[in-house]
Each structure stands twice: as structure tokens, then as C-alpha cells.
């Protein structure tokens, strides 16, 4: 869902920050200067909106990063944090494999 929200915001920002749609900065600049200024404004606004969306989603959903950092991983396996905040290995159940019949 977050990807869809980011995509919509990206498309709306791109549309409204296209030169001469909502505004033109600077008014008498060449097309390259105007495009550069609009690109910078677009990038800054998108960055700020992404930070605000991330904070909002943490407050709304309680979502936090539940993965362990590289320093806590010793053997490269999949890890997560338990309810106490400790880094624990994720153990996946494996199905026994059937033996491959031989041609003999």
C-alpha cells in the first residue's frame, strides 16, 4: 500500500511542479535553469513528504524495522527481533526431500 501512496504522490508532485503548470521559477530564466530549479524543488518536497509519510505510518500502524543489524548477525542466516528486542534466528521448517530414483 505504501508503494501506491508513494507513486501517487510522485505523480502529483511531478505534474504540479512541471514548469508553467503551477508556477515558474525563476520567471525570466532559460529553460535549463527553470528545469533545474523545478527538479531541486521536486526532490526536496518529495524527500520531506517521504519522511512525513514514514513518521505517519509508524504512528498509525506501529510499524518499525524488525530486522537485526549486520553486527548482530553472526552466520548470515535470516534473523528478526523478538518481543524483548533480542536478535533471534528465524527457523523455517523444511519438508523432507524424496530420494531421487537411480537408473540402475
Same domain, 24 and 75: no
Arithmetic mean of pLDDT, 60-86: 60
Give the confidence band of 92 by pLDDT, cuts at 50, 70, 90.
Answer: low
Same domain, 86 and 71: yes
pLDDT score, position 33: 93
Domain membership of residue 38 as a residue range: 2-63
pLDDT score, position 101: 72
Does the pLDDT of residue 49 top 80, yes or no? yes
What is the Cα–Cα distance from 92 to 78, expressed in whole angstroms? Answer: 9
Same domain, 56 and 73: no
- In a domain? residue 73: yes
* Bridge partners, residue 88, by sequence: 80
The per-residue pLDDT for range 17-29, each reduced to its tens digit, is 999 898 888 989 9
Same domain, 21 and 48: yes
From residue 77, how far is each of 73, 87, 90 by CA, in Å? 7, 11, 8
User: Mean of the per-residue pLDDT values for the chain?
Assistant: 77
Residue spans of beta strands (DSSP E) within the chain:
79-81, 87-89
From residue 84, how far is each of 44, 80, 81 by CA, in Å? 37, 11, 8
Does the pLDDT of residue 14 top 70, yes or no? yes
Same domain, 47 and 73: no
Amino acid at each position: 500500500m505504501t508503494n501506491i501512496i508513494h507513486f501517487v504522490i510522485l505523480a502529483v508532485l511531478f505534474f504540479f511542479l512541471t514548469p508553467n503548470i503551477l508556477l515558474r521559477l525563476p520567471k525570466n530564466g532559460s529553460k535549463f535553469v527553470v528545469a533545474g530549479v523545478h527538479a531541486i524543488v521536486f526532490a526536496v518536497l518529495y524527500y520531506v513528504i517521504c519522511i512525513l509519510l514514514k513518521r505517519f505510518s509508524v504512528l498509525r500502524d506501529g510499524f518499525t524495522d524488525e530486522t537485526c543489524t549486520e553486527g548482530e548477525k553472526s552466520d548470515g542466516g535470516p534473523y528478526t527481533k523478538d518481543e524483548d528486542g533480542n536478535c533471534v534466528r528465524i527457523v523455517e521448517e523444511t519438508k523432507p526431500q524424496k530420494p531421487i530414483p537411480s537408473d540402475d
